[in-house]
Homo-oligomer: A and B are copies of this chain.
Amino acid sequence: MKGIVNFTPGPSQLYFTVEDHVRAAFREGIPSLSHRTKEFEIISKHTTDGVKELLGIPSHFHVFFTSSATEIWERTIQNLVAYKSLHFVNGAFSKRYHEIAAQLGKSPKKIEAPDGHGFSMDLPHEEGVELIALTHNETSTGVSLPMNFINQFRQQYPNAIIAVDSVSSLPYPQFDYSKIDSIFFSVQKGFGLPAGLGVWIVNDRCVAKSEELLSKGLSIGSYHNLPTLLQLSKKNQTPETPNVIGIYLLGKVIDDFLRRGIEIMRKETEYKAAILYQTLSTCNVATPFVVEPSHRSNTVIVAQSGVHTKLIAQHLAAHGLQAGDGYGDKKATQLRFANFPAHSKEQFEKLVDELEKIKSN
């Protein structure tokens, strides 16, 4: 499968340095390194510091390692909600976050928008909300929440925890971390790494909330509750035997990103998104699924390809470009294109060229 560019939004294309880093890991004995050694603590601290530096996260936030973003959906609810969370649902993944809150015995509320749409800024107020669950980037539909939408909640819900699922957008977006309390991602999307690691970032409001739930006799889980994660992370350790090589590789890829420069990477992301949306807007075999430009994701671009879906996918595949399927029941009528740091400008230019050729048929 080498030589094919994978535009599936996750697991996606590997960042081009990963295989070399894996080789180095074997040379250094990382795959059998005990997580209770000084060497592991150095690796863990390096990755944690790198995450904060790359994303511009204030030093007082804490970075924890989990197994997946799916796990973090569960952990945020378990640790941060006694009764009521409020979810903004506009696709399969934000819907699943809401369902998980119900499965954990909470009474979650939701505000819904149709697939492919964002939310109005003029929102009804819910009483007693402890956590606002925002999916920054709906991987199923290619809708991204504008920053001014995310940033309004601090004022509207001053007592709530603002939690942002940024699974398929980071490291691209620059958030205002004074306006959010918890953010998370998994490494197999924008970080171009093999799957098996989720990163959960929280501030002290989150830790205090989990301690409050615990003091009221509520269960906040066991090995991955926030007080336990915090206690171990102070020693740069983890409660369980973690995905050691995953933590090592994330640190190495972040080193690569830092050398390249996050601002350059952001500009490249915007350039690649712009040429693909431009092509989709002008070609005659597909259109951008998200109609409103301010709601369009720059990192997961969804094409409404209708009856041309198979034709497009086959043409691209013949040229070494693997489009991602539409999500769920959109499999036959949409295509998704991840736009991550692992996807180069040249690959996007080739993608656009090939789409243009189909247009001219």
Residues of A within 8 A of B (CB): 1-2, 4, 6, 8, 10-14, 18-19, 22, 26-35, 66-71, 73-74, 99-100, 103-105, 186, 188, 193-197, 219, 221-223, 225, 239-246
Sample of 8 A–B contacts (CB below 8 Å): A31-B193, A67-B67, A69-B241, A73-B223, A99-B222, A195-B241, A195-B242, A196-B245
Besides the contacts A11-B33, A22-B22, what 20 more A-B pairs have beta carbons closer than 8 Å? A1-B29, A2-B26, A14-B31, A32-B194, A67-B68, A67-B243, A68-B240, A68-B242, A70-B239, A70-B241, A73-B223, A100-B222, A194-B245, A195-B241, A195-B242, A196-B196, A196-B197, A196-B242, A196-B243, A196-B244
Partner of A74, one of B31, B194, B223, B244: B223
- Identity of the chain B residue whose Cβ is nearest the Cβ of A22 in the assembled complex: B22
Partner of A195, one of B13, B35, B99, B239: B35
**Distance in Å: Cβ of A24 to nearest Cβ of chain B:** 12
Contacts of A244 in B (CB 8 A): 11, 194-196
Distance between Cα atoms of A340 and B27 in the complex (Å): 22
**Distance in Å: Cβ of A57 to nearest Cβ of chain B:** 23
Known: A14-B32, A32-B14, A240-B68. A246 touches B104 (CB 8 A): no
Partner of A219, one of B11, B32, B105: B105
Distance between Cα atoms of A252 and B244 in the complex (Å): 20
- Please state if A34 and B11 are interface contacts (CB–CB under 8 Å): yes
- Please state if A12 and B26 are interface contacts (CB–CB under 8 Å): no
**Distance in Å: Cβ of A188 to nearest Cβ of chain B:** 6
Copies of this chain: 2
Identify the 7 closest CB pairs spanning chains A and B, nearest first. Answer: A1-B29, A196-B243, A67-B67, A70-B240, A31-B194, A103-B222, A100-B222
- Please state if B195 and A103 are interface contacts (CB–CB under 8 Å): no
Contacts of A74 in B (CB 8 A): 221-223
Distance between Cα atoms of A341 and B223 in the complex (Å): 29
Contacts of A219 in B (CB 8 A): 103-105
Partner of A103, one of B2, B73, B221: B221
**Distance in Å: Cβ of A269 to nearest Cβ of chain B:** 19
- Identity of the chain B residue whose Cβ is nearest the Cβ of A239 in the assembled complex: B70
- Identity of the chain B residue whose Cβ is nearest the Cβ of A66 in the assembled complex: B67
**Distance in Å: Cβ of A83 to nearest Cβ of chain B:** 13
Distance between Cα atoms of A10 and B244 in the complex (Å): 12
A26, A31, A71, A99: residue with the most chain B Cβ atoms closer than 10 Å: A31
Contacts of A33 in B (CB 8 A): 1, 11
Distance between Cα atoms of A10 and B245 in the complex (Å): 14
Distance between Cα atoms of A103 and B28 in the complex (Å): 37
